[in-house]
Chain A
């Protein structure tokens, strides 16, 4: 259906969304308009920033010291236990946000991802297995390494999301409930979206991504944007 909303009508919905009151039907209209309207995307960010100032009017309620201790103890424990971040993720994280990211650069990062996985397992494992994923507008590939057991999902063609939403990635098992495994992060300057899927894919039949509230959901909503069968392509 064509987007027939005016900027003025969309502004009402942006304000509702900023304070968390927007309902699903209106959200669909709003997001359809935002997909093609840069000024309204900018207005959405500004309404979100404005709403985030509302808590400033409250008396600051400092958290107890033990909350910081508990949080950071957990974080450092997991950091110590987790394998060191692959070099290609550190490379991507180190790219300044304002650096022009050319098509060649984007291709180089995708190649680096593939080589990183291949390199990690080159002494004992075969080249990564790849699976195709697709949706209405999105296409991509899931590259899976066995040593270490992890996969990288790389996707093109996804629309930007408002700050209140994320693309959450799910593994769907042969039996049981979908498992949330991470979020797709946007590429720099329109580059492909990526997500690291840790662990083995054994026992899972499908990978999918849905639109969820920031922070993620325990179960996927009915907003699938892509999926792929975990059978070798």
Chain B
């Protein structure tokens, strides 16, 4: 089993153009990246392409991660989400789930038990917190994050004023924040 590397260790390794850095990044966040891509695209083949392209981009161009601008987790999530949304927008006409499931072994990308436990705990808390949101707030976030809809597109789809969309997203995230505050990696600070 790989020794536990901190996210800072992984960033330094990637910056030094070390294959081990990409390997560690994938082992820690590959499962999350694949989950995000599959949720957005609903197409296993396309999701795998997006994950591979995302990690290869990090490898070929080096880490552009900026400490203090969010966590390594949010950085890789953003890269994968942006690529998946780009693909979705160019692929809306395709039939979803049209890629056959190959009969082969499945192995978790997360190989460190500590990380797996942390993600599982976080997942349970996030599920509970999301379930507590009013349906329209939850739907607004889902349309944006997983559907790739812009603020105007959401307003049109939900038949509400643009200002309502802006308010809903912030209120929803603030409520999630207050529910999850004690689970966040760093204390949330309000202005």
Contact = CB atoms under 8 A, between A and B. Distances in A.
B82 A164 contact: yes
Interface in A66-87: 66-68, 70-72, 74-76, 78-79, 82, 85
A163 B78 contact: yes
A65 B170 contact: no
Interface residues of B, number: 90
A4 interface: no
B130 A7 contact: no
B100 interface: no
B34 interface: yes
A115 interface: no
A28 interface: no
A68 B26 contact: yes
Q: Which of A14, A16, A43, A92 gathers the greatest number of chain B CB atoms within 10 Å? A: A16
Contacts of A166: 64
A55 B83 contact: no
B140 to A, nearest CB: 8
Nearest to A80: B19
A122 to B, nearest CB: 23
A59 B164 CA distance: 30
A47 B12 contact: no
Interface in B105-164: 105-109, 119, 122-123, 126-127, 130, 141, 143-145, 148-152, 154
Contacts of A68: 26-27, 30, 107, 109
A105 interface: no
A63 B148 contact: no
B191 A43 contact: yes
A212 to B, nearest CB: 9
A200 B49 CA distance: 30
A14 B143 CA distance: 17
Contacts of B56: 71, 74-75
B71 A64 contact: no
Contact of A54 (B75, B85, B126): B126
A22 B151 contact: yes
B70 A48 contact: yes
Contacts of A46: 177, 186, 188-189
Contacts of A71: 22, 26, 51-52, 55-56
A215 B188 CA distance: 27
Contacts of B191: 7, 11, 39-40, 43
Interface-centre pick from A19, A65, A93, A184 (highest chain B CB count, 10 A): A19
A96 to B, nearest CB: 8
A164 B191 CA distance: 22
Nearest to A45: B70
A108 interface: no
Given A21-B144, A21-B154, A64-B106, A214 B64 contact: yes
12 contacts: A12-B169, A15-B173, A20-B145, A21-B151, A56-B119, A60-B108, A62-B106, A63-B31, A71-B55, A75-B56, A164-B78, A213-B78
The 3 A-B pairs of least Cβ separation, nearest first, read A52-B74, A21-B144, A163-B70
Interface of B: 8, 12, 15-17, 19, 22-23, 26-27, 30-36, 38-39, 48, 51-52, 54-57, 59-71, 73-75, 77-83, 85, 102, 104-109, 119, 122-123, 126-127, 130, 141, 143-145, 148-152, 154, 165-167, 169-170, 172-174, 176-177, 180, 184-186, 188-189, 191
Interface of A: 7, 11-16, 18-23, 26, 39-68, 70-72, 74-76, 78-79, 82, 85, 89-90, 92-94, 97, 160-164, 166, 182-186, 196, 213-216
